Amino acid sequence: MRLRLMAKNWRAMLLMLAGAWSFCATSMAGDEAPRPTTAAAIERVATHYAEYGYLSGSVLVAKHSKVIYERGFGAANIAGHVPNTPTTKFGIASLTKQFTAVLVLQQVEEGKIRLDGKVSDYLDWYRKDMGSKMTVEQLLHHTSGLPGDFDQREFGDGEEAQTRMYPRPFAEKVCQKNLASEPGTKWAYSNCGYDLLGLILEKVSGQRFDELLRERLLEPLGMNDTGLDKNDLLEKGGAHGYVRHAGPWYSAGPDLDRLHLFSGGGMYSTTEDLLKWNEALNGSGVISKTICEQIFSPGLNDWGYGWFVRKIAAGEPGAGEMMAEMRGDMPGNYFAWILRYPERDAVVIVLRNGYGSTEHFEENLQAVLYGKEPRLPKRAAKDLAAQVWLVPARWIGRNKLLAEFFTPILLAVGAGIWRFSRKSSREPDETLQK
């Protein structure tokens, strides 16, 4: 009897000691919940943006050559209820310049193009007073003296940008304007400069740009869902371009001409294909290490060859480390952004078909990569108004009689809400504006 009692007391003491040890261990570990994994933190950020209507596209984040997060959000085709996925094709606009730059440097390695060669050496139709001054390297570096064309209508979203034109007639008409500065002295972003590079490539190679692109880069890298858009991306199953208005409300973007965007901004791709491209830029074989070093060597305005290369600024996550980034902007249709962090061996790739809504999304993904807390946006007044409107609109839309009766009323109410939201949001919120 006494032995059984002693054994029972020993078991109780052991249980008490185990409980005390567990309590101490928990206390020493701290009261905070365990930090979420990088993938979980990215999911939290991405779903937040998607729920607010700020994100329609595809997101991929990789580290040490391994995908840690990829997912599509929103619709590639709203009317057809086709979702975006990691294999959805999007216009990548100025990300095209990276591919053009590599093709030029390959021709330089083979002795077919000289970096100090003049435009007139390759394009005999180009005006001599300018072409005899501008070099290939200056075109690559945006220091050719050509006027900057951010605000040029042919690269916007209006009628001029929708007019179909083949690359050479376009260059003859638009890309021979008087020089804005002496070549080599100033930096000015020029889509025309990269269009001229594409025409030079065609001249020296005897191939169309899209053929050279596929033969020298896309096929060797297995980038089967990437190419030059000849106004046929939708026929290839690519994402439609949309303009975001408020909340989750989007409308079809303008039908821009991709032909004249050409080697300066006419390509399409997927997040998965761009990961292959990112790996190739580490000097894996298809692209020589010499070329990889060249394209990431910054000149004026931190511009290399198709990339901005700089140290992350003070106050930003990862301050002091190197970063290479490039954005592609096709007004009213697509917005692409790729960011490389060589010291982290990480890359962020975001392709959107919901234009007009960034709200610092990519910067928040950078914060997550560096273990910092992201600053998630709040809904603006117009987004709240859109959300309020959406519920009755969907309910009424299911009933024809109700739709006929309530639609004029909802339109009037919606217009009032819209005017109020515009008035109340004239002072921009820095956390929401980019």
Residues 204-253 pLDDT 10s: 999 999 999 999 999 999 999 999 999 999 999 999 999 998 877 899 99
Q: Which two tokens stand for residue 308?
A: 């901005």
The answer to whether the CB of 265 falls within 8 A of the CB of 81 is no
In this prediction, residue 335 carries a pLDDT of 96
Average pLDDT over residues 55-60: 97
In this prediction, residue 74 carries a pLDDT of 96
In this prediction, residue 249 carries a pLDDT of 81
Higher pLDDT, 426 or 283: 283
At residue 86, the 3 state secondary structure works out as coil
The answer to whether the CB of 306 falls within 8 A of the CB of 97 is yes
Enumerate residues 6+ apart whose C-beta is below 8 A from 405.
Answer: none
The answer to whether the CB of 396 falls within 8 A of the CB of 402 is yes
Higher pLDDT, 22 or 67: 67
Return the minimum-mean-pLDDT range out of 18-32, 43-57, 345-359: 18-32
CA 374 to chain centre: 19
Q: Would you say residue 337 has pLDDT above 90?
A: yes
- Express each pLDDT in 292-317 by its tens digit: 999 999 999 999 999 999 999 999 99
Point out which residues pair with 118 in neighbouring strands. 135
In this prediction, residue 359 carries a pLDDT of 84
Q: Mean pLDDT of all residues in the chain? A: 85
Written as one letter, the residue type at 157 is D
Q: Which two tokens stand for residue 21?
A: 């040890």
Q: Would you say residue 16 has pLDDT above 80?
A: no
Q: Would you say residue 13 has pLDDT above 50?
A: no
Distance (Å, whole) CA 336 – CA 57? 9
Place of tokens 């610092």: 360
Average pLDDT over residues 388-414: 51
Higher pLDDT, 408 or 320: 320
Q: Would you say residue 432 has pLDDT above 60?
A: no
Average pLDDT over residues 196-200: 98
Confidence of residue 371 (pLDDT cuts 50, 70, 90): very high
Higher pLDDT, 284 or 12: 284
Return the minimum-mean-pLDDT range out of 93-102, 320-329, 396-405: 396-405
State the pTM of this model. 0.82
Using a pLDDT cut of 70, give the percent of the chain over it: 79
Confidence of residue 15 (pLDDT cuts 50, 70, 90): very low
Place of tokens 């930096």: 187
Confidence of residue 431 (pLDDT cuts 50, 70, 90): very low
Higher pLDDT, 405 or 193: 193
Q: Identify which of 136-145, 379-388, 392-401, 423-432 has the greatest average pLDDT.
A: 136-145
Confidence of residue 408 (pLDDT cuts 50, 70, 90): low
Average pLDDT over residues 97-122: 98
CA 240 to chain centre: 16
Average pLDDT over residues 173-186: 96
Q: Would you say residue 5 has pLDDT above 50?
A: no
DSSP state, residue 147: P
Confidence of residue 7 (pLDDT cuts 50, 70, 90): very low
Return the minimum-mean-pLDDT range out of 143-157, 194-208, 251-265, 303-317: 143-157
In this prediction, residue 356 carries a pLDDT of 83
Q: Which two tokens stand for residue 221?
A: 């890298």
Higher pLDDT, 121 or 397: 121
At residue 194, the 3 state secondary structure works out as helix
Confidence of residue 386 (pLDDT cuts 50, 70, 90): low
